[in-house]
Amino acid sequence: MNTTLGVGFIGAGPVTQAIHLPHLAGLSDRLHIAHVMDVDPDTAAAVAARAGARHSTSADELLADENVDVVAVCSPHAFHADQAEAAARAGKKAVLVEKPFATTVPEAERIAKVSRETGVPVLVGAMHTYDPAYLAAAAHWGDLPETARHIRSAIQLPPNSRYVTLATQLHSLPAGPPRRDLSDPAARAAAISGSVLGLAIHNLPLVRRFLPYIEAVDTAALLTPFGYAVTLHGPDGRTAELIGHMGTAWRPEWTFEVWGETAQLHLDFTPSYVRAGSARATLRTAHEERGFGPFPHNGYEAEWLHLADLATGAATPRYGLDDLVADLSFATDLAARAGTALQQEGASA
């Protein structure tokens, strides 16, 4: 009899195959994969076989499986809210919802309401908020969140396919989105909104920690072949710049920086598909420089360990439900404002 916690995956796409399964393989003393569900029966069967797990094409069947203790919702964004709610109402011990938490704020509020009613903890897979180096720096940065003046998030990556190939032999690759006519202002707005919710969202909870409210998006631009450049400011004069680009260059950069009145924070994260430990964090003041990390575990492993502790009652949630809803609200607000700003810039050109 397996005494570790059984994990059920709703959705067996590239994130499940290339990120979650390899990380869980290193945490087998706490968690095991019990059930894999995907609407593609061949994908469900192949991915489950790697872990010696059951498979199905029905979320209801997975939720009825008594061997599933915790559920990971890794399906397309539109299904997150309904599936997270169903997992909580099924009496599971904990639920992980991949980014984004939901597609609208009312959906996020509904998940939070159900979590409170059922007592089932919900965690959002924002791995950087669990990164050990980020958390170590947070314990020492003092009043930086209150005195921050400028925030910069820069993500430069080669195509995901390069990392996926290194991480696993992918069974199937979902069809990409249809090509948009980017000469159409509405299509350009949708493209930048999608890139904010698909790539920038990894760091948006960190941005919100230092710039809690958006007063305006000042500039927005699409980068080719995929990416965005967005600048924004808050009501108290704080500013932020967000750059994300996926091109053909191999060398990645994933940095997050904050400049305050008397301190500066610099974080170097490893790319999502690379198991290379935590970020490196540097906290500088006029009098000293302190480094944190890298630690052996990265944010993905840390969030899974925290989920296991939540499921067994050994921990309380690191981030409250109100914070998860606020993070989603911040992300959708930014995506909408960036789309509007891009349309307005196009109209005035």
pLDDT of residue 227: 92
Cα separations in angstroms, 137 against 2, 144, 238, 267, 297 = 37, 11, 21, 9, 15
Judged against a pLDDT cut of 90, whether residue 243 lies above it is answered with: yes
**What is the band of 344 on the pLDDT scale with cuts at 50, 70, 90?**
confident
Distance CA 344, CA 189 (A): 10
Judged against a pLDDT cut of 50, whether residue 57 lies above it is answered with: yes
pLDDT of residue 128: 97
Distance CA 276, CA 268 (A): 12
pTM of structure = 0.93
Adjacent-strand bridge partners of 315: none
**Domains of the chain listed by start with CATH number:** 5-125 (3.40.50.720), 130-302+330-348 (3.30.360.10)
What proportion of the chain, given as a percentage, has pLDDT over 70?
91
162-192 per-position pLDDT tens digit: 555 554 566 666 665 566 666 788 888 999 9
Please state whether beta strands 5-10 and 280-285 pair in parallel, antiparallel, or not at all (unpaired). Answer: unpaired
pLDDT of residue 185: 80
Are 124 and 208 in contact by the 8 Å Cβ rule? The answer is no
Average pLDDT of the residues in 4-15:
96
277-302 per-position pLDDT tens digit: 999 999 999 899 999 999 999 999 99
Residue 239 burial by CB count (10 A; 0-12/13-18/19+): exposed, middle or buried? Answer: middle
Judged against a pLDDT cut of 70, whether residue 102 lies above it is answered with: yes
pLDDT of residue 279: 96
Judged against a pLDDT cut of 90, whether residue 233 lies above it is answered with: yes
pLDDT of residue 131: 97
Compute the mean pLDDT over every residue in the chain, rounded to the nearest whole number.
92
**What is the band of 228 on the pLDDT scale with cuts at 50, 70, 90?**
very high
Distance CA 284, CA 280 (A): 13
* CA-based nearest residue to 50, from 22, 28, 74: 22
**What is the band of 263 on the pLDDT scale with cuts at 50, 70, 90?**
very high
Q: Is the dihedral of CA 16, 128, 105, 336 positive or negative?
A: negative
What proportion of the chain, given as a percentage, has pLDDT over 90?
82
